[in-house]
């Protein structure tokens, strides 16, 4: 019997193990999560060559940069797996970004002990989501903002600026430059420049300062 077949045996009581693939560019981060999950009989850890049959994909990162978002997007296209994120920090706007990329559960690395990782994996396998309390609060605030914008008779707010655009303009208004905004939002500097250029072009504004003034006058930030 192969090692993979041996791992795939059901647990006592007929319960199947949850097959898990772990993705991490940093080998130290990967080893830490793999070490924790390898000790749990409820989990079947898959080798790199076998990730296509994973029920759960865990992406382990420091921050959500463009390459991480690309990986999350690729995993989103697979109907066979549900994606969880173990992350060091989530900057402003990054929560919405990862949810748009199909992430169903988030766990901070500082909280990622063996029990919490198992809770994350089993929640995903059951088709459930999982968010830290403060991130859930941010998500609810965002949903509330979407509802308010839909009722705004002026047709402004998020119909004129997306959440990402509003976040970046708010940081511009606080005096941050492109590099600082990139660090705060977990986007690349190129993405920040493209977003701000899109705002000024679409709204026919002269520059960033003009865009900030427009947003402030219309109550968008």
pLDDT tens-digit profile of 149-171? 444 444 444 347 888 888 899 89
Q: Is the pLDDT of residue 67 over 50?
A: yes
**What does the pLDDT read at residue 139?**
58
* pLDDT mean over 93-106: 84
Provide the percentage of residues in the chain whose pLDDT is more than 90.
47
Q: What are phi and psi of 81, to 5 degrees?
A: -130, 155
User: Is there a single domain that holds both residue 96 and residue 132?
Assistant: yes
Question: Domain containing 208: what range?
Answer: 152-217
Q: Indicate yes or no: pTM above 0.95.
A: no
**What does the pLDDT read at residue 201?**
86
Q: What is the CATH number of the domain that holds 199?
A: 1.10.10.10
Q: Is the pLDDT of residue 174 over 60?
A: yes
Question: What own/partner pairs with CB < 8 Å and gap ≥ 24 does 125-132 have?
Answer: 125/18, 125/55, 125/56, 125/82, 127/82, 128/104, 129/104, 129/105, 130/84, 130/104, 130/105, 130/106, 131/105, 131/106, 132/106, 132/107, 132/108
Nearest to 210 by CA among 199, 220, 194: 199
Is there a domain that residue 14 lies in?
Answer: yes
Q: Is the pLDDT of residue 28 over 80?
A: yes
Task: Return all residues near 9 (Cβ < 8 A) that are at least 6 apart.
Answer: 17
Specify the number of domains making up the chain: 2
For 114-151, the pLDDT digits (tens) are 999 999 999 999 998 888 776 766 655 555 554 444 44
């Amino acid at each position: 019997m192969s090692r993979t077949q041996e791992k795939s045996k059901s647990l006592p009581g007929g319960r199947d193990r949850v097959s898990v693939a772990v993705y991490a560019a940093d080998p130290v981060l990967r080893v830490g999560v793999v070490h924790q999950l390898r000790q749990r009989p409820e989990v079947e850890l898959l080798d790199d060559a076998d990730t296509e049959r994973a029920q759960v994909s865990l992406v382990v990162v420091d921050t959500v940069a463009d390459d991480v978002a690309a990986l999350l997007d690729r995993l989103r296209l697979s109907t066979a797996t549900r994606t969880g994120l173990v992350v060091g920090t989530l900057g402003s706007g990054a929560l919405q970004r990862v949810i748009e990329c199909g992430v169903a559960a988030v766990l901070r690395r500082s909280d990622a002990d063996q029990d919490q990782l198992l809770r994350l994996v089993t929640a995903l396998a059951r088709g459930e989501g999982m968010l830290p309390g403060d991130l859930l609060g941010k998500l609810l605030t965002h949903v509330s903002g979407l509802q308010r914008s839909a009722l705004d008779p002026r047709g402004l707010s998020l119909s004129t600026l997306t959440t990402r655009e509003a976040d970046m303009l708010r940081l511009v208004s606080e005096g941050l430059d492109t590099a600082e905004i990139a660090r705060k939002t977990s986007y690349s500097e190129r993405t920040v420049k493209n977003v701000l250029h899109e705002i000024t072009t679409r709204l026919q504004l002269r520059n960033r300062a003009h865009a900030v003034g427009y947003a402030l006058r219309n109550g968008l930030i």
